[in-house]
Structure formats: C-alpha cells, structure tokens
Amino acid sequence: TIAGIKNVGMAGVVTNKGLLVHPKVTVSEREALREIFGLPVNIGTTNFGTQMLGSGLLANSKNFVAGSETTGPELGRIEEALGFLE
C-alpha cells in the first residue's frame, strides 16, 4: 500500500527519474519505494490539493500532463520530483 491505499496507481506516479506519492505515505512505505525503484521519493498533490495523484497526473520519461486545477506550486513540485528540472 501507499498511505494505506491499496490501489497504488492512484497514490503515486513514477518516471525513470523519481516518484511523487500521496502526502500521507508512511516512512516505511517511502523507504520501501526508494529501495524498490532506486529513485528519490517525494510527496505532493495535484488539482488544488488532491492527494490521489493518479486522478490528475500522467507522466513518462519525456513529459507530464496535469489536471487543469493544478496550481503553480504543485506543478513545480511535480517537475522537481519526477526529474523534469535539469
């Protein structure tokens, strides 16, 4: 689970450079994700505070698409967490 959510696709998004997960992820879940993927794990939201990231964010190694209600600070966090700032 991620943050106690069994449908992990709703609770996190991953690219080949990083993970962005639900803000209520536990320390042990975060560490397990870091070990499994070998990537940095960050927390964040989309669509003006929606914690279910899979409902408002699609990403791959080249780019991402976020919901229309996603704020500037959320976009910055997404770019940083998923490795789009270089």
Domain for residue 2, yes or no? no
Mean pLDDT, residues 53-75: 97
pTM over 0.85: yes
Nearest CA to 57 out of 78, 40, 41, 37 is that of 78
pLDDT at 29 over 80: yes
- pLDDT single digits (tens) 8-21: 999 999 999 999 99
pLDDT at 76 over 90: yes
> What local confidence, expressed as pLDDT, does residue 26 receive?
96
Quote the CA–CA distance of 35 and 60 in Å, as a whole number: 20
Mean pLDDT, residues 26-47: 97
Domain that holds residue 31: 8-81
Domain for residue 20, yes or no? yes
Task: Assess contact for 40 and 48: CB atoms under 8 A.
Answer: no
How many independent structural domains does the chain possess?
1
pLDDT at 86 over 80: no
Domain for residue 58, yes or no? yes
